[in-house]
Structure 1
Amino acid sequence: MESFEKNLEKYAELVIKVGVNIQPGQVLFVESPIEVAPFTRKVVQKAYEAGAKYVQVSWDDEAVTRTRFEYAPDESFGFYPEWTAKMMEQLAEGGGALLNIKVPNPDLYDGIDSHKVTTATRAASVARQKFQGYVRNKSFSWCLVKAPTKAWASRVFADLPEEEQVPAMWDTLFQINRVDTEDPVAAWQDHIAKLKSMRERLNNKKYKRLHYKAPGTDLSVELPEGHVWYGGASFNDQGVSFVANMPTEEVFTMPHRHGVNGTVTSTKPLNLNGRLVDRFSFRFENGKVVDYTAEVGLEYLKDLLDTDEGARYLGEVALVPHHSPISDLNRIFYNTGVDENASCHFAVGSAYPFTLENGTKMSRDELLQRGANVSLTHVDFMIGSSELSIDGELEDGTMEPVFRNGNWAL
């Protein structure tokens, strides 16, 4: 118990010092499942110890969330409170920070009419467009982290007795977030430096295209002129570093909106807002998804692609070696924030403007003209495996290996 409490303390401190990197006098907004309240309270304490001026916690209760979809009238699902959207905008504009302890239950909406969930998701996306612009331009500090809930742990560790599932999840989160090291903050600084080194190598290459080959995957992905690879830490408008996802093992950039051709097949399940999609594939022509399949959750995949025009185009390409801390655990986490850091992945939907030179200063139309995708949504899906090979095409047409057998060959 003493070791657990010590690690919990170190995890909370890591999230505050490296994740959101709270500065003296800053405001912190925390979104958290009520089930992980003990951890959230430690986070709040660490934030105040770091000099936060004010910390507000917004509690999420899955039972309350599901009750809405079971009993609310149909007109409820197209409604999203304007005051909530304005609050988030003011947080970003005022230089605050956001910490989201995000643990969606993959079975939350079992038996619920998918149209209700899709309508509610879209209403939130529309209302939060301005705020999401701040997120995608890294205008302020934000961080997504994980903490175990019973529902999540029971799915990931279904092979363990019930009483061991949540403790096993805690141990795993401590491990993949380097909390179990003597000095997690120093361990993360070293990790961030390694990711920075890899992204700099890729930026120096200036690849014109990436070519993917794996079982069920034969895909060509053009990269726009001026694309920039990122990974590890980012810097907000005030020049303060933060880590948007913990854990993170990826380096990423944007693809050209109209430059994706071929077929790609998923290698891990996708938890799509509490609805599971699995064993799916996309076929692209000139950037657009023109055909798709799924053995599980086809209707949910259709809802995603019908969000808006941009939802049928890619907005992110991310590289993660198969031999990495999360992947080596050989376990499916049913949580994109974890699974995407065990696997190369793409995202359908909006690109991050900062992955294009001067992209954060461009208008929507300018971004589109430069090849960046724009959408209300951004959903990552995993395509990496030990059988994936990726070739990089240089400006002069020369091809060279980037990945072989799922790992770096660069």
Structure 2
Amino acid sequence: MDPRIREHAQTIVDHSTDIEAGDNVVVHMPSEAEDLAVALHELIGDRGANPVFLTNSDRAERAFLRAREDEFDTPAHKLALYEEMDVYIVARSGGNVSEKADVAPETNAAFRRAEQEILHERLSKTWCLTQFPTTGHAQLAGMSTEAYQNFVWDAVTLDWDAQKEFQQQMVDLMNDADEVRIQSGEETDITMSLAGNETINDYGEANLPGGEVFTAPVRDEVDGDVYFDLPLYRYGREIEGARLTFEDGKVVSHSAERNEELLTSILDTDEGSRYLGELGIGMNRAIDQFTYNMLFDEKMGDTVHMAVGSAYAECVGEENEVNESAEHVDMIVDMAENSTIELDGEVVQRNGTFVFEEDFE
């Protein structure tokens, strides 16, 4: 076994989840990530915790979705498992990243709605989402298998204490602000209220790798236009050139240069899917290549991302409404050129450089 796999597992158990004796742990990953699952089970055993191993398959899920097609039930036995667990560890992997590309968008939306209660239960526990490098994701990223393995494991084993300290500077600025304005190029100019909400420092716990700070905007106080100039991969298909216009928090018009019908189906999932659930600022400069994998891409330095759909409840203050949705879809704006982030009218990032960095101008 590659020693970096054991190091990856160690980071998950010690840093990301802090597994203790007696914890009920669900390890959920495809067969391609079996080595990581084995390494995790060794460490979980050492700590006296109790693992359940679930193998997921995009091929199997595709077969189910295409056979069912219509409304889905929330499976009580699956929900019961997550109600009894303490820690959830899931890895993205798999051979064919487009396996579910021919599942109808409305079927995906119906399935997501049925799984919403299960998702809420999972997110209420300690959890970690990570990546195991496979040839399918390497191909999607346009990298050799070896280069992609190096990319993933270098990102996973970052000095997370140093990254936390760097990012906390932006957290403090955002937590002191009531309003943020993001401008980029000629098409993105959006303002949103942060009043009463909290910004979170993501340094490799729930997401591994981490490398962002994120919050939830006040649900009904988002206005303006956004052009997402970096593409995203969703349900095995690529959405390019997405444009959203917000009024009083809600998406009132949208378009995309590629797969607009998929974007429409996402926004039509439920009432909450037309509202913004997250604003994130990418701050991990060790992730320096776009890979069509949001777990990495949203953390890149010189980017911001916004997610339509559900908000993370821990970001939302008691006086504000938590946006709820079966969807949470991140989309990215490149902030490297002709871009600014303002907090209460003061520029805190210009062309990807933060005000607390030496070369800020």
TM over 0.5: yes
CA distance in 2, matches of 1:166, 1:58: 25
Structure 2 alignment gaps of length 5 or more: 357-361
CA distance in 2, matches of 1:19, 1:377: 24
Q: How does 1:222-301 map to 2 (within 5 A)?
A: 222-224=193-195, 226-232=196-202, 243-301=205-263
Paired AA for residue 324 in structure 1: R
Counterpart contact for 1:259–1:286, Cα < 8 Å: yes
Correspondence for 2:23 among 19, 26, 29: 26
CA distance in 2, matches of 1:109, 1:336: 17
1:289-322 Cα shifts (integer Å, max 9, x gaps): 000011122111111111111111111111124x
1:102 lines up with 2:92 in the alignment: yes
TM-score scaled by length of structure 2: 0.90
C-alpha RMSD of matched pairs (Å):
2.2
Residue 148 (structure 1) aligns with: 133
1:382 lines up with 2:342 in the alignment: no
Counterpart contact for 1:346–1:381, Cα < 8 Å: yes
CA distance in 2, matches of 1:374, 1:287: 13
Q: More helix per residue: 1 or 2? A: 1
CA distance in 1, matches of 2:20, 2:28: 19
Residue 335 (structure 1) aligns with: 293
Counterpart contact for 2:226–2:245, Cα < 8 Å: yes
CA distance in 2, matches of 1:168, 1:61: 25
1:88 lines up with 2:38 in the alignment: no
Residue 325 (structure 1) aligns with: 286
CA distance in 1, matches of 2:141, 2:2: 23
Residue 342 (structure 2) aligns with: 391
Paired AA for residue 407 in structure 1: T
Question: What fraction of aligned residue pairs are identical, expressed as a percent?
Answer: 26
Q: CA deviation at 1:130?
A: 4.7
Q: CA deviation at 1:110?
A: 2.7
Paired AA for residue 119 in structure 1: A
Counterpart contact for 2:223–2:245, Cα < 8 Å: yes
CA distance in 1, matches of 2:65, 2:49: 37
Residue 61 (structure 2) aligns with: 65
CA distance in 2, matches of 1:64, 1:120: 14
SS in 2 for 1:218: strand
Q: CA deviation at 1:218?
A: 1.0
Counterpart contact for 1:89–1:130, Cα < 8 Å: no
Q: CA deviation at 1:256?
A: 1.1
SS in 2 for 1:22: coil
Residue 359 (structure 2) aligns with: none
CA distance in 1, matches of 2:173, 2:182: 19
Q: How does 1:30-179 map to 2 (within 5 A)?
A: 30-49=27-46, 51-70=47-66, 72-75=67-70, 78-91=72-85, 96-103=86-93, 106-125=97-116, 127-128=117-118, 130-131=120-121, 135=123, 139-157=124-142, 165-178=144-157
Counterpart contact for 1:218–1:262, Cα < 8 Å: yes
Counterpart contact for 1:176–1:325, Cα < 8 Å: yes
Residue 200 (structure 1) aligns with: 172
CA distance in 2, matches of 1:130, 1:255: 20
TM-score scaled by length of structure 1: 0.80
Q: CA deviation at 1:286?
A: 1.0
Paired AA for residue 181 in structure 2: H
Structure 1 alignment gaps of length 5 or more: 180-186, 234-241, 360-366, 394-398
Runs ≥4 residues deviating over 6 A: none
CA distance in 1, matches of 2:333, 2:226: 7
SS in 2 for 1:344: strand
Paired AA for residue 192 in structure 1: K
SS in 1 for 2:299: helix
Q: CA deviation at 1:12?
A: 1.2
